[in-house]
Amino acid sequence: MSERKPVTLHRLQEMHASGEKIAMLTCYDAAFAHVLDQAGVDILLVGDSLGTVLQAESTTTPVQLADMVYHTRLVARGNKTAWLLGDLPFGSYHESPQQAWRSSLALMQAGAHMVKLECGDWAVDTVRFLTARGIPVCAHLGFTPQTVSALGGFKVQGRGAAAEHVKEQARAFVEAGAQMLLFEMIPAALAREITAWSPVPVIGIGAGLDCSGQVLVLHDMLDITPGRRPRFVKNFMSGTDSIAGAVARYVAEVKSGQFPDEAVHAFT
């Protein structure tokens, strides 16, 4: 593809406001960073999902901050224009806002442009602390994989009466300064409602078509993750003869609104 300007937070906010869809994928090394950047992926997420897809752990809980710093540095070296979002791993931001600051600083110094926290009500003060000190934050709400045991397994969040709490959380984190929201496994109608009023981009994974953008785990959409795939995953390698082609197809389908198909990939 032709040269593009670096994707900035301002550009992402413009895309959200205009309805232009945002394409995000996880990324863990320089080679894939180059492929994804060249294919037009807007945001590269150095996800703690590396624990399951690279380290063969059963959950993301064992991932260490040092792992995230290492892989963030690799992705930053291979990336030229995409926005780079780094996950704060379990235990690296729960103790205090000051601990979250130190962990965020490590990721930013490794090349991240923004950090992502899996947020509960307790994290509002932490987000406020970070954003007041110049750290852009994405608040991850809905299903939060780091706390899968406490949630009782891989379950859709925000159904029924719980929807109001999810909406309250979204408003609280935006008011605390979060500049992006990410919702995982919530009803499509709930994600649609939140995206409609949100002043910041809303990224979905298993959250329906009407979010500002979509994210998938790279190894899932390339169909190379062992075991069963989540419902919201689509195999973009099927019918494609290259990884670059699969990624470009993902970007095109997100941008056009073809993916996700709410009859297949979303929850009610």
Contact 23, 252 (CB under 8 A): no
Task: Kindly report the average pLDDT of the chain as a whole number.
Answer: 95
Q: Given 168, 184, 193, 253, which residue is catalytic?
A: 184
Q: Which of 174, 171, 262 is nearest to 214 (CA)?
A: 262
Helices 30-38/65-78 angle, 10° precision: 50
Q: Nearest-CA neighbor of 202 among 13, 10, 39, 36?
A: 13
3: pLDDT confidence band, cut at 50, 70 and 90?
Answer: confident
- What is the structure's pLDDT at 229? 85
Residue 134 — very low, low, confident or very high, per pLDDT cuts 50/70/90?
very high
Known binding residues are: 48-49, 87, 116, 118
For residue 184, indicate whether it is catalytic.
yes
Residue stretches of the annotated binding site for 3-methyl-2-oxobutanoate: 48-49, 87, 116
Q: Where are the domains of the chain?
A: 9-265
pLDDT average, residue stretch 126-140: 98
Q: Is the pLDDT of residue 128 over 60?
A: yes
Q: 82-91, 147-156, 225-234: which has the highest mean pLDDT?
A: 82-91
What residue ranges in the chain does DSSP mark as E strands?
Answer: 22-26, 43-46, 83-87, 114-118, 137-142, 180-184, 202-205, 213-216
pLDDT for the residue numbered 153: 67
- Measured from the Cβ of residue 248, the count of other Cβ atoms closer than 10 Å reads 20
**Per-residue pLDDT reduced to its tens digit, 147-159:** 876 666 678 999 9
Q: Give pLDDT, residue 228.
A: 83
List the structure tokens of 30. Answer: 């320089």
Long-range pairs for 47-55: beta carbons < 8 A, 24 or more residues apart: 47/87, 47/217, 48/87, 48/89, 48/90, 48/145, 48/146, 49/87, 49/145, 49/217, 50/26, 51/89, 52/225, 53/26, 53/28, 53/217, 53/218, 53/219, 53/220, 53/225, 54/28
Structural contact between residues 261 and 232, judged by C-beta atoms closer than 8 angstroms: no
For the cut 80, the answer to whether the pLDDT of residue 2 exceeds it is no
Binding-site residues for Mg(2+): 48, 87, 118
Q: What is the pLDDT of residues 159-178, one digit of tens each?
A: 999 999 999 999 999 999 99
Q: Which residue has the tokens 């009466």?
A: 161
Indicate the DSSP class of residue 183.
E
Is there a cis peptide before residue 187, judged by omega within 30 degrees of 0?
no
What is the pLDDT confidence band of residue 1, given thresholds at 50, 70 and 90? very low
CATH topology of domain 9-265: TIM Barrel (3.20.20)
More confident residue, 152 or 10: 10
The number of beta carbons lying within 10 Å of the beta carbon of residue 256 is 9
- Whether the CB-CB separation of 173 and 138 falls below 8 Å is answered with no
Over residues 29-66, the pLDDT tens digits come to 999 999 999 999 999 999 999 999 999 999 999 999 99
For 68, the 3-state DSSP assignment is helix
